[in-house]
Amino acid sequence: MYRLDRVKLLSFDCYGTLVDWTSGLEEALGELAARHGLRLPSWWLAQDWESVQFELICDRYRPYREILCDATCRVLARWGVRLSPAEAQSVVESLPRWPVFADVPRVLPALARRYQLVVVSNIDDDLLARTLEHLDVPFAGTVTAQQVQSYKPQLEHFRQLLRQYGLRPEEVLHCAFGFRYDLAPAARLGIPTAWIRRGTGEEHPAVAATVVVDSLEELAQRLGVPVPAQEMASR
């Protein structure tokens, strides 16, 4: 069994794990669709968008803001909607305002008192900086797609994380909600993982997470980190 007392650094996926990516994306796409008279479920548009985005990030590296715009235009074009550049850009501009999960501001400051916290994200530096302004959490640093010129699930984010902080894989716990982008590639490098389920369903059949929890509060409990009463959610 893996010993959690070896962990010195907690790395976190941002969008989907700390930020409610699903709600933010569905709202942004739903608003664009409604503006053009499309009565389509926003969850359906978001699922289609995710498939298109994955194809784009598996191609050559481009800034993430370009991928956001491109994926949005392609999805709505399938329904005969030609977005203006400003409309496509509106999704990019909305991203830093997407909602943060309620347990983030309560729990991450407590975790930061024991561990270094690092964000590992498929994002541009400026967009992430604008998002982190709303979190009020003392992160030790970030590893972004812009910095490594690559996108998860490729391994460069995680290689850079180990190089940048001079740690062995077993000294890091990577925390994320998604297997394809995060937990699977981290595991390939021997980095232990915490699956923050966020209601995402069943575990990946080929990847066993080291820790499985439903919230950051539960993660703190598993790590033995006390969360002060004013930071703990009421139950």
Q: Which residues are catalytic?
A: 13
CA dihedral for 13, 205, 192, 196, sign (positive or negative): positive
Question: Beta strands 141-144 and 193-196: pairing type?
Answer: unpaired
Distance CA 213, CA 235 (A): 16
Distance CA 227, CA 235 (A): 13
Taking alpha carbons only, the member of 164, 127, 126 closest to residue 143 is: 164
Distance CA 189, CA 123 (A): 21
H, E, C per residue of 182-219: HHHHHHHCCCCEEEECCCCCCCCCCCCCCEEECCHHHH
